[in-house]
Every structure is written in structure tokens, then in C-alpha cells.
A = this chain, B = another copy of it.
Amino acid sequence: MDKELLHNKAVREVISLIASGQYKEGKSLPSERKLCEQFDISRGTLRKALADLEKMGAIKIRPQSGAYVQKFSHNKLPSKVLPVDFNGVSLSDIIVARRAIELAAMEIASKRITKKELAGLERIVGKMEASLDKLPEFLKYDMRFHESIVKACRNSVLITAFDSISEYHKYSQVYSSYYDNCEQEALKYHKKILGFLQNGKAKSAIRALGEHFDNMKASI
């Protein structure tokens, strides 16, 4: 029984935010008190996380000023902060798993999805298009699109499975920027999928999602 420590989780959260570009090199993180609220943890716990992050060189804390993001190589992150068995996990492993779960979810979601949820998807796609040049933003909405589809299937077991690996997915951005120059491709597929869903073409939506994953796999 490994116990998941809150401050390690916070460390991972900050790292993935840095890696995805949400917190930029040279700039400072939000204040400790804001981060507490954002991560919903106490200040003591957060400071433990920040101390760890400074030790591993990800940030530099300047008294009375802030925590500044450093340039650092994340190749040798202490395994303590990594998701349990991250060793030996490749990007294609993540894609294989997501493909299996999301296709199954899509099969159900394409029949059950509501107009409200479709409107939500449309809004997300719009925001993706608007942030084509801002990678971190784009990735956030990309993730949210896939998440929404899985939730729409209303199968708690599939949703649990998806959630359990979502951290792998977020964290994989630390190691790779597989999305470089693939934003257009991704957006194209998302639009396609949305269109099929709106017109009730379930089969086509499923096929398009499958192609989307094939495309991702091919580009790495």
C-alpha cells in the first residue's frame, strides 16, 4: 500500500503546468497563498512541494518576491514524485490505452450525448481554434474535449479508467512535445468528430476518433 502524498501530487501538478507552458521560464509562479487555494491544500503542504521543486532545480525561490521558473532538464526526476510506475512508459503506451478507453466511450456517447453537451463541445472547439498559437491553452482545451466525450458516455467504470490514466497523459507533456506542429491536425479531427456527432453519424464519429489516435501515434 503506497500512500500518495499530497505534496508530491502538488509537485507533479506544478511540473506539468510548467511543462505545458502555463508557467513560463523566468516568470514567477502565482503567490503561495494563491497556489494553496488553486490546488486546495494548506500552505504548509504547498511549501513542502515548493521546497522539493527548488531542490530539483525547477524553480528558484526569492524571499519577498516569488518562485521563479528555471530552465531545467526533467530527465532525472526523482521517482517519488512520478505516478506509481511511470518507468518504462512510452507515449505510444499512453495512446494505446487512451484509444481503447475512448473508443469504447465514444461508442456509447455517440448515442447518449445531449444537445447541451454538444454545445459544450462546440464551445471547446471554438476555444481551441482561438488558441492555435498558444500551445498550453490549446493543450488544455484538447484534453477537455476528450474528457467531455468520455463523461458523456455516463459509464462510471469507463470514466474511472480514463481518470486513472489522465495523469499519465498530462505528465507525458513533460517528456515530449509531440504536439509540435500537429495542432492543425488535431483541430481538424476534433471538428470532424464534432460534426459527425451533431449529425448523429455515430459510426463516422468513432472512425474519426480512431484515425485521430492513429495520427497521433504516427507523429511520434
Contacts and interface: CB of A to CB of B under 8 A. Distances in A.
B1 A96 contact: no
B156 A86 contact: yes
B103 A156 contact: no
Oligomeric state, in copies? 2
A85 interface: yes
A84 interface: yes
Contacts of A85: 156, 159-160
Interface string A154-174: 111111111111001000000
A108 interface: yes
B156 A101 contact: no
A192 interface: no
A96 B155 contact: yes
Q: Kindly name the residue among A1, A154, A162 whose own CB sees the greatest number of chain B CB atoms within 10 A.
A: A1
A99 interface: yes
Main secondary structure of the interface of A (DSSP, over half): helix
Interface string A28-67: 0000000000001100000000000000000000000000
A88 interface: yes
Contacts of A97: 101, 104, 155, 157-158, 160-161
5 contacts: A97-B158, A99-B104, A100-B104, A161-B161, A164-B164
A211 interface: no
Contacts of A162: 161
A162 B85 CA distance: 14
A94 interface: yes
Contacts of A108: 96
A117 interface: no
Given A40-B1, A155-B96, A101 B161 contact: yes
Given A88-B154, A93-B155, A100-B104, 11 more contacts: A1-B6, A1-B40, A89-B156, A89-B157, A96-B104, A97-B104, A100-B100, A100-B103, A101-B101, A157-B165, A160-B168
